[in-house]
Amino acid sequence: MPLSNEQVLRLARLARLSMPDDVNITRMRLDSIFALVTQMQIVDTTDIEPMSHPQELAARLREDIVTETPCRATFQALAPQAEAGLYLVPKVIE
Amino acid sequence: MTPAPIFDAPVSALRRALDGKEISSVELASLFLDRIGTFDPGLNAFITVDRERALAEARAADARIARNETRPLTGIPLAYKDVFCTEGMLTTCASRMLSNFVSPYDAHVVSLLKQAGAVNLGKTNMDECAMGSSSETSYYGPVNNPWEPGHVAGGSSGGSAAAVAARLVPIATGSDTGGSVRQPAAFCGITGIKPTYGLVSRYGMIAYASSLDQGGAFGASAQDCALLLSAMTGFDPRDSTSLDRPVEDYAAAIEAPAPDAARPLAGLTIGVPGEFFPEGMGGEIRAAVEDALAQYRALGASVRKVDLPNARLAIPVCYVIAMAEASSNLSRFDGVRYGHRAAEYADLADMYCKSRSEGFGAEVQRRILAGTFVLSHGYYDAYYLQAQKLRRLIAEDFRRAFAECDLIAGPTSPVTAWALGAMNDDPVQMYLADIYTTPVNLAGLPGLSHPCGFDAAGLPIGLQLIGNYFSEARLLTATHRFQQATGWHLRRPTPATAERAHP
């Protein structure tokens, strides 16, 4: 099932990627990936439990105690723009 | 006979030289740093080399050695794939997105190896975000194969594999999502092991596909890999999938004497899946792997046929799962908290889009788009859910096979290292080369690649051994016995080749 250019542009929007310069090339490359993936459809998997993880582990719980110390200043030093403990982004609400 | 140069020595010999005060850790680090300076311009195996930092760590190691507080890796130089966060040091994942990222913390693996006293020489090159099988998609340019510059080193951990093969460092870490330790080990003629999923903490290892990613070890031999892997494993509460089990000493395990010295692998059954030897497979690879199997028989192992009927679907299954998990994992790179932010943008949405499209290369963006598609409404069941169901069938194949054998063997890759750029026009062709390695990640099993020959062009061929869960000691022991009886792991790219690479 080949993708349309509109579908590729919609995926780019969903993934927060700029529209590719050449949508046709991106679409063709994605089509060849999905042509490979189509092989999966030949197997009947009715009644097979999906396997989401190699080790079927229950989520581990820990004591409800403080384990980390604040390192906001260290982390915010990496930000493109931070001020007064806040990450700055373009205005969202007018 | 002239003795082997120190840079070519196994880690155990470096250990003896350090403990016997024949060489200091500072001298050892300097020697390897000088080799990096001489040979890396032709290989591009490293993204970051920090000489001062390495020498400071070596001085600290020398002080520990003087106090007799040594552990197996104290004072031994190593390198980290640039997917592992290193505090105060550039950690790029070979992406423009993180080209300015100085990590504020150490990955769990890095802190373990620091405590062990290992000396960090630098961070190795790789495919961008670990997405690739050739180490060509790096923002910092492709890695060259030390056996034949102009050919790929494999990937995604190609820098680590090339650096160990060229003896720019004795041992190095890697990560393996679909073959990224085993395939570059095969392409570069060294030994590489990916352990059971959950043995090595993923904390601080930049995520590609969380249910598949696993840290691994590179060395010239099973012995060197055993030393590194033993120091990398251990429970870490900061990784929710880390397994709480006792740490094994693989280096000690492989030295255990065999009851029958002439047939040290007596009692071991190796399963060979017919699916791993298809019609049309390269004759040289088939011959090298069959010779290796004959050697295993000569060492006492028995070899029998096993079936992995669903393994042929491993590539689409692995790629669907990996791309889906990647599209989710890589959403953290938004240009807000760290990493690349575009210089100009109209609003917040535009800032996200421009920062991400400038920060990620074409292959990473393709995988994010494909992953977004397989998770999207209306397609989830047909792609992502179907892949997870097939994942179970593939894991079940292995469960049945391991009822009949102890290890599974076959080629690591259906091809040897291709020429740089040869697969650029068709990424799917490159995915297909992961046919024998991806099933192992889907099941979460340990796998190892060791050298077993060369093709007519002089490029290395690797044998993959797959074990049942937690059989790392058995994998490494079988390889160690093979390497005690053979010399493939002692072959090195000639200095002339390396010098040609660096005119």
At residue B497 the predicted structure's pLDDT band, cuts being 50, 70 and 90, is: very low
Question: How high does pLDDT run on average in chain B?
Answer: 96
Distance from C-alpha of B181 to C-alpha of B370, rounded to nearest angstrom: 24
Interface test with B, best of A8, A18, A28, A68 (most B CBs within 10 A): A18
Which burial class, exposed, middle or buried, applies to B396 when counting CB atoms under 10 A from its CB (0-12, 13-18, 19+)? middle
**Token pair for B201:** 């903490």
What is the distance in angstroms between the Cα of A25 and the nearest Cα belonging to chain B?
11
Question: Which of B369, B397, B426 is the best mutation test for A, with the most CBs of A within 10 A?
Answer: B369
pTM: 0.97
pLDDT above 80 (res B468): yes
Closest CA to A37 of B395, B423, B320: B320
Range from B110-114, B274-278, B423-427 carrying the lowest mean pLDDT: B423-427
**Nearest-CB residue to A18 (from B211, B354, B389):** B354
CB pairs < 8 Å spanning A and B: 161
Q: CB distance B443–A54 less than 8 Å?
A: yes
Q: What is the mean pLDDT of residues B413-435?
A: 92
Q: CA B433 to CA B186: how far, in whole Å?
A: 12
> Is the confidence at residue B495, as pLDDT, over 80?
no
- Domain ranges, ordered by start, for chain A: 5-42
Alpha-carbon dihedral sign for residues A46, B323, B108, B144? positive
Domain at B6-261+445-500, CATH from 3.90.1300.10, 2.60.40.10, 3.40.50.2300, 3.40.50.970: 3.90.1300.10
Across B238-300, the runs of DSSP E, i.e. the strands, are: 269-273
For B319-331, b where at least 16 C-beta lie within 10 A, e where not — what string? Answer: bbbbbbbbbbbbe
Which among B327, B389, B397, B434 is the top mutation candidate for probing chain A, defined by the most A β-carbons within 10 Å of its own β-carbon? B389
Cβ atoms within 10 A of the Cβ of B192, count?
33
Instruction: Look at residue B2 in the predicted model and tell me its pLDDT.
Output: 63
| Chain B residues closer than 8 Å to A70 by CB | none
Q: Is B91 exposed, middle or buried (0-12, 13-18, 19+ CB in 10 A)?
A: buried
From the CA of B214, how many Å to the nearest CA of chain A?
Answer: 11
* Number of helices followed by number of strands (H, E) in chain A: 3, 2
Contact B388, A52 (CB under 8 A): yes
Would you list the domain boundaries of chain B? 6-261+445-500
Note the pLDDT tens digit of each residue in A18-35. Answer: 977 789 999 999 999 999
Digit-coded pLDDT (tens) for B337-376: 999 999 999 999 999 999 999 999 999 999 999 999 999 9
Q: What is the pLDDT of residues B119-155, one digit of tens each?
A: 999 999 999 999 999 999 999 999 999 999 999 999 9
Going by pLDDT thresholds of 50, 70 and 90, the confidence category of residue B502 is: very low
Does B390 contact A40 at a Cβ distance shorter than 8 Å? yes
Give me B214's structure tokens: 């696993």
Sign of CA dihedral B148, B151, B152, B154: negative
Residue whose C-alpha is closest to residue B108's, from B33, B171, B186, B202? B202
What ipTM was estimated for this complex? 0.95
How far is B141 from chain A, CA to nearest CA, in Å?
22
Q: What's the CA gap between B371 and B368, in Å, rounded?
A: 5
Collapse the DSSP code of B182 into the 3-class scheme (helix H, G, I; strand E, B; otherwise coil) and give the result: helix
Q: Which residues contact B15 (CB under 8 A, 6 or more apart)?
A: B70, B72, B76
Distance from the Cα of A1 to chain B's closest Cα (Å) equals 11
Contact criterion met (CB < 8 Å) for A26 and B237: no
Per-residue confidence (pLDDT) for residue B38, from 0 to 100:
95
Contact A15, B355 (CB under 8 A): no
- C-alpha torsion sign, points B146, B147, B151, B153: negative
With beta carbons less than 8 A apart as the criterion, state whether B324 and B381 touch. no
- Average pLDDT, integer, range B331-342: 97
Partnered with residue B453 across adjacent β-strands are B461
Residues of B in contact with A59 (CB under 8 A): 240
In A, minimum Cα distance to B328 occurs at: A15
* pLDDT cut 90: percent of chain B above it: 95
